[in-house]
C-alpha cells in the first residue's frame, strides 16, 4: 500500500478543520495527521491497519464532538431522565461504515482516501468486529443503542468489555471448531478508557449489624475480595443528528496488580496471582458454567457490571444535585433479560446501607427505576443461582433478597389467603432439591414494568410462564415487539437497494421506516421490478464470490438463494431444512431429468461449545453438502453451503442476497427473532411458522405474501398433551421414512451408521420440537415457493411489497414504545411526561 505524494503534502497543509470538518480535504488532513503525529507512520510505509486506525480516529473526533454537545444539552435538562440499558451482551458489529453513514460522510471519506490511493472498502473489510454477544440478545441491544441516539433519547449502555468475545468458528471435516476471538489484537480505536471513573466491586466475606448514631439498625458488608472496574467508553452516534450517546463497558482489574514482597522472595506466580484472578472476571464472554468454578465466574461477571453501572449512575446523579431518594427521577434502567437482575438488590443495598434510606423508600425508588424485558420461553433459559453460591459471593445481597421475598410472600398470602401453592410458585426461592434463587421472579418483583418481545411471546408469558405475576400485577405487563435498525441492515448492508429506494420515494425512510409504504405503488411497475431484480442479482453475485472464497463451493447467482442463518439450536430446526434438501435430492436420484428449481441452500450460525446436538446438526449440514454438491445426477441444481463464523459483518453480506428467509422454529418457542426482520427488509420472502414476530410480519405484509406452514403453538401443546408419537408419522410417510433412513444408513457419514444415530433416535422417539410433525406441511410449502420462483414478475412484486410493509419493525418504533410505556423519557430538549 503506497499512497500518492498528496498524502505526504497534506501533513503540513494549514487551515484545515481537522477535528470537525466533514469535507474530503479536511478528512484527508485528519487521517494524515493521525498517521503522522499519533501513530508515527509515514504514509508511504503505513500498513492497511495503520490507515484503518487513522481513519477511525479521525471519525471518532467527530463523534466525540457531538458527544460533548449531547452531554451539554443533558446538563441543561436536570429534571429529565436518562435510559440505562443493562445488558450482558452488546453485539455492536463493525463501526467504521456505520459511523460514516450516520455522520453523512461516507462518500466524502471515500474521496479523501482515494486521493491517497486508499480504498475505503478495503478498510471496511479489514475492520475486526468485537464479538461481545452470542446472538439476538446482544444484537438487539446494539440496535436499541442506535435508535436511542437517532431519536435523541439520552442513554448509556452498560455491559462488560470482554477481552475475548464469542469464539471464532472454523469448520474442520464438517465439525465446528472454536477458536479464541482476539478482537483487540490490532487495537480498537473507537473506545476511550476512563480509569479515573473506576469503581470498586466487592465479593464474599460477611456482614455485620450495628446501630448508627441515630439509633437505627444498620448493616455493613465486610468483603473478602475487592476488584476494580475500569470503564471504556464508545460513542454511539444517531443517524444524521447531533445526539451521541455512550456505550460504557467495564474491564476488571486488580486493586493491587503486583505483589513485590512475593516477587522478591522468588514466588513469581503469587506476585501476579491477584491480577490474574481479578482480570478473569472480564476475560471471556459466557464462560462454561458446567463446573462450580464456572458458575461462580458467571455470577461474578453479572454482579461486576451491574455493580459498576449502578455506582456510576448514582455517582452521576449525586454529582448533578440529585438525592438518593430521587434516583428514579433521573434514571430509567432496563434489565435486558435476567443477566442484570442482581442490580435490584444492589440498588437496594446502596440505598439502605450507604445512603441510609428506610426500606419502603428504597424499595419504591428501586421498583420505579427498573423495567424487565423477558426474552425466552425456554425453562432452561430462566436463570437460577444456587443459594449457597449466591450467599458465598454476595452475602449482603442474599439478606436483602430474603427480605424482599418475605414481604412478597406476605403480600401474596394477603391477596390469595390459603393458596400456598401460589406462594411456592412465586417465591424468589426454589425450595425443591438444591435451594436456588429464581432470577426471573426477582426481576418481576423488582420492576415496575415487564414486557415480552413479540405479541405471541408476550401472550405465552402472560398465560403460562408468568401467569401468577400477571394475576397479581396485571398493570406491569405490556408487549414491545423487537425491531432492527434499518441504518446498519439496509443502508450500510445493502447500498444498491438503498439507492434505488431513495431515488424512488425519497431519502427519509431510514429514520421514518413507514415511508417505505410509498414503494407499494411501484410494485406493479415492470421497469421498477426489473431494476429491483438487478439489485438483488448484484448482491447474489457478491455473496457467491464470498462463498467461493470462504468455502470453495461455487453457487449460481441465478438459482434461488434459500438461506437460514442464526444460532444453531434444535428448536430453530435447521435439521428440518436438511430433511427437505434430502427429499429434493432423493427425487433427483429417482428421476435425474426432473424439472426442479435450482437452489443454493446457505446455512450459518454457531452452536454452543457444549451443545452436542447442535454441533451434530452442523456436521449433518456439511455431510449433506458433500453428498449433494458434486453428484452428477444433481447437475448443480442443488448446492448446500455452511457459511462459517456467522457474525454481524458476515450477516451484512448475507441478508441482501437472500431470496428466501427460513424462519422455521417450532411454534411457541422463538420469543421474537430479528433475523426474520433483517431478511424481509432486504427483499427476501419468508417461509415460516406462526412463531415469534413471524406472526406480526405476516400480518403486516399480508398472508398472501408469506409462506406459512406448520402447527400453531396451541396445536403443538395439544399434540404433546395427547401423546405425540413421532414414530407413527415416520412409518406413515414414505418419503419422510426414506430420507430419515438415508441419514440413519450412514450414507452421509462414509458408511458409519452410528454418527447421526442420536439425532435420528431423537426424532423418531422424542422429537420435542415437532420436526416430523411439520415435515409434510413444510415440503408442501416449499413446493409453493418453487412455483412462485418460476414467475419472476410475481416474485419481484411480492418482494417489493414485503419491504414496503416492514415499517413497523424498525427498532426506532420499539424504542418509542419503551419511551412511552416503560421509561417515560423524551428526546433531548423535549419535556418528559409521565415520569415517576
Round to whole Å and give the CA distance between 482 and 693. Answer: 8
Cβ atoms of 496 and 538 within 8 Å: the answer is yes
Three-class SS of 777-795: HHHHHHHHHHHHHCCHHHH
Q: Cα Rg for the chain, rounded, in angstroms?
A: 28
Partners of 477 in the beta sheet? 450
**Cα–Cα distance for residue pair 77/68, rounded to 1 Å:** 14
Residue 418 burial (CB < 10 Å; 0-12/13-18/19+)?
Answer: exposed
Q: Coil, strand, or helix at residue 190?
A: coil
- In 3D space, the residue among 299, 275, 239, 278 whose CA is nearest the CA of residue 103 turns out to be 239
User: Which phi and psi (to 5°) does residue 244 adopt?
Assistant: -135, 110
Q: In the 8-state DSSP scheme, what is residue 88? A: S
How distant is the alpha carbon of residue 488 from its chain centre? Answer: 13
The full 3-state SS of 138-149, as one line of letters, equals: HHHHHHHHHHHH
CA nearest neighbour of 645 among 174, 168, 182: 168
Name the CA dihedral angle for 503, 508, 512, 513, rounded to a multiple of 10 degrees: 20
CA atoms within 13 A on the CB side of 22: 13
Q: Where are the alpha helices (DSSP H) in 370-517?
A: 387-393, 395-415, 420-426, 439-446, 455-460, 467-472, 486, 495-505
- The secondary structure of 673-710 as a DSSP string is -SHHHHHHHTT-EEEE-S-TTHHHHHHHH-GGGSEE-S
- The H helix count followed by the E strand count for the chain is 35, 23
In whole angstroms, what separates CA 635 from the centre of its chain? 39
Catalytic positions, written as ranges: 375, 566-567, 572, 674, 678
Q: Which residues contact 192 (CB under 8 A, 6 or more apart)?
A: 64, 232, 233
**Interatomic CA distance for residues 72 and 53, integer angstroms:** 28
> Do residues 204 and 393 make contact, with C-beta atoms less than 8 angstroms apart?
yes
Tell me if 351 sits within 8 A of 326, measured CB to CB. Answer: no
C-alpha cell at 267: 514466588
Amino acid at each position: 500500500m503506497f499512497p500518492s505524494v498528496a498524502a505526504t503534502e497534506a501533513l503540513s497543509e494549514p487551515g484545515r478543520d481537522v477535528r470537525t470538518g466533514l469535507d474530503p480535504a479536511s478528512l484527508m488532513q485528519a487521517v494524515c495527521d493521525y498517521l503522522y503525529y499519533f501513530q508515527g507512520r509515514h504514509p508511504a510505509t503505513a500498513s492497511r491497519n495503520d490507515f484503518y486506525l487513522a481513519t477511525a480516529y479521525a471519525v471518532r473526533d467527530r463523534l466525540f464532538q457531538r458527544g460533548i454537545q449531547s452531554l451539554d444539552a443533558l446538563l441543561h435538562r436536570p429534571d429529565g431522565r436518562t435510559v440505562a440499558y443493562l445488558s450482558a451482551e452488546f453485539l455492536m458489529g463493525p463501526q467504521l461504515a456505520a459511523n460514516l453513514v450516520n455522520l453523512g460522510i461516507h462518500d466524502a471519506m471515500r474521496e479523501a482516501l482515494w486521493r491517497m490511493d486508499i480504498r475505503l472498502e478495503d478498510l471496511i473489510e479489514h475492520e475486526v468486529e468485537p464479538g461481545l454477544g452470542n446472538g439476538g440478545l446482544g444484537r438487539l441491544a446494539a440496535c436499541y443503542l442506535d435508535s436511542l441516539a437517532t431519536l435523541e433519547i439520552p442513554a448509556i449502555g452498560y455491559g462488560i468489555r470482554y477481552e475475548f468475545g464469542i469464539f471464532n468458528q472454523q469448520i474442520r471435516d464438517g465439525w465446528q471448531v472454536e477458536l479464541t476471538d482476539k478482537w483487540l489484537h490490532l487495537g480498537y480505536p473507537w473506545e476511550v478508557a476512563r480509569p479515573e471513573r473506576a469503581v470498586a466491586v466487592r465479593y464474599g466475606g460477611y456482614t455485620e449489624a450495628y446501630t448508627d448514631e441515630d439509633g437505627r439498625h444498620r448493616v455493613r458488608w465486610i468483603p473478602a475480595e475487592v476488584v476494580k472496574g475500569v470503564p471504556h467508553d464508545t460513542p454511539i452516534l444517531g443517524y444524521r443528528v447531533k445526539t451521541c450517546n455512550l456505550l460504557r463497558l467495564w474491564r476488571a482489574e486488580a486493586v493491587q496488580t503486583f505483589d513485590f514482597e512475593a516477587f522478591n522472595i522468588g514466588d513469581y506466580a503469587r506476585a501476579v496471582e491477584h491480577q490474574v484472578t481479578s482480570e478473569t472476571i472480564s476475560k471471556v464472554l459466557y464462560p462454561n458454567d458446567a463446573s462450580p468454578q464456572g458458575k461462580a465466574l458467571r455470577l461474578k461477571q453479572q454482579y461486576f457490571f451491574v455493580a459498576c453501572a449502578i455506582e456510576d449512575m448514582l455517582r452521576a446523579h449525586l454529582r448533578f444535585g440529585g438525592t438518593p431518594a430521587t434516583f428514579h427521577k433521573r434514571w430509567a434502567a432496563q434489565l435486558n433479560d435476567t443477566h442484570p437482575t442482581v442490580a435490584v438488590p444492589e440498588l437496594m443495598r446502596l440505598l439502605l446501607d450507604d445512603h441510609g434510606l428506610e426500606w419502603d423508600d428504597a424499595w419504591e425508588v428501586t421498583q420505579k427505576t427498573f423495567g424487565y424485558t423477558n426474552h425466552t420461553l425456554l425453562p432452561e433459559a430462566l436463570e437460577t443461582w444456587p443459594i449457597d453460591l449466591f450467599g458465598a459471593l454476595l452475602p449482603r445481597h442474599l439478606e436483602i433478597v430474603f427480605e424482599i421475598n418475605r414481604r412478597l410472600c406476605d403480600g401474596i398470602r394477603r391477596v390469595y389467603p390459603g393458596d400456598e401453592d401460589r406462594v411456592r410458585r412465586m417465591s424468589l426461592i426454589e425450595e425443591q432439591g438444591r435451594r436456588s434463587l429464581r432470577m426471573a421472579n426477582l426481576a418481576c418483583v423488582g420492576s415496575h414494568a415487564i414486557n415480552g418481545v413479540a405479541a405471541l411471546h408476550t401472550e405465552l408469558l402472560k398465560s403460562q410462564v408468568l401467569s401468577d405475576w400477571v394475576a397479581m400485577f396485571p398493570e406491569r405487563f405490556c408487549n414491545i415487539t423487537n425491531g432492527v435498525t434499518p441504518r446498519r441492515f439496509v443502508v450500510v448492508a445493502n447500498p444498491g437497494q438503498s439507492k434505488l429506494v431513495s431515488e424512488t420515494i425519497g431519502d427519509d425512510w431510514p429514520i421514518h421506516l413507514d415511508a417505505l409504504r410509498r414503494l407499494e405503488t411501484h410494485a406493479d411497475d415492470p421497469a421498477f421490478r426489473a431494476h429491483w431484480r438487478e439489485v438483488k442479482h448484484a448482491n447474489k453475485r457478491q455473496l457467491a464470490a464470498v462463498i467461493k472464497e470462504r468455502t470453495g463451493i461455487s453457487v449460481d447467482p441465478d438459482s434461488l438463494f434459500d438461506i437460514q442463518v442464526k444460532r444453531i439450536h434444535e428448536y430453530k430446526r435447521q435439521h428440518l431444512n436438511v430433511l427437505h434438501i434430502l427429499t429434493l435430492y432423493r427425487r433427483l436420484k429417482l428421476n435425474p431429468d426432473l424439472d426442479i428449481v435450482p437452489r443454493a441452500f446457505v446455512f450459518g450460525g454457531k452452536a454452543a461449545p457444549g451443545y452436542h446436538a447442535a454441533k451434530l446438526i452442523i456436521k449433518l449440514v456439511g455431510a449433506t453438502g458433500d453428498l449433494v454438491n458434486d453428484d452428477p445426477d444433481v447437475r448443480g441444481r442443488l448446492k448446500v453451503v455452511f457459511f462459517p463464523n456467522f457474525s454481524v459483518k458476515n450477516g451484512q453480506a448475507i441478508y441482501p442476497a437472500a431470496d428466501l428467509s427460513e424462519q422455521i422454529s417450532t411454534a411457541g418457542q422463538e420469543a421474537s427473532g430479528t433475523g426474520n426482520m433483517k431478511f424481509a427488509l432486504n427483499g427476501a420472502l419468508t417461509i415460516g411458522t406462526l412463531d415469534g414476530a413471524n406472526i406480526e410480519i405476516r400480518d403486516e405484509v399480508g398472508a398472501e405474501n408469506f409462506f406459512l406452514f406448520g402447527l400453531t403453538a396451541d396445536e403443538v401443546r395439544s399434540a404433546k398433551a395427547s401423546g405425540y408419537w413421532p414414530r407413527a408419522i415416520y412409518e406413515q410417510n414414505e418419503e419422510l421414512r426414506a430420507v430419515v433412513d438415508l441419514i440413519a444408513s450412514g450414507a452421509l457419514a462414509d458408511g458409519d451408521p452410528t454418527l447421526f444415530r442420536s439425532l435420528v433416535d431423537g426424532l423418531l422417539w422424542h422429537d420435542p420440537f415437532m420436526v416430523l410433525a411439520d415435515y409434510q406441511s413444510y415440503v408442501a410449502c416449499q413446493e409453493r415457493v418453487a412455483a412462485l420462483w418460476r414467475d419472476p414478475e410475481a416474485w419481484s412484486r411480492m418482494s417489493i411489497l414485503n419491504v414496503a410493509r416492514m415499517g413497523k419493525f424498525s427498532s426506532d418504533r420499539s424504542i418509542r414504545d419503551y419511551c412511552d410505556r416503560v421509561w417515560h423519557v423524551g428526546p433531548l430538549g423535549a419535556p418528559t411526561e409521565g415520569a415517576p
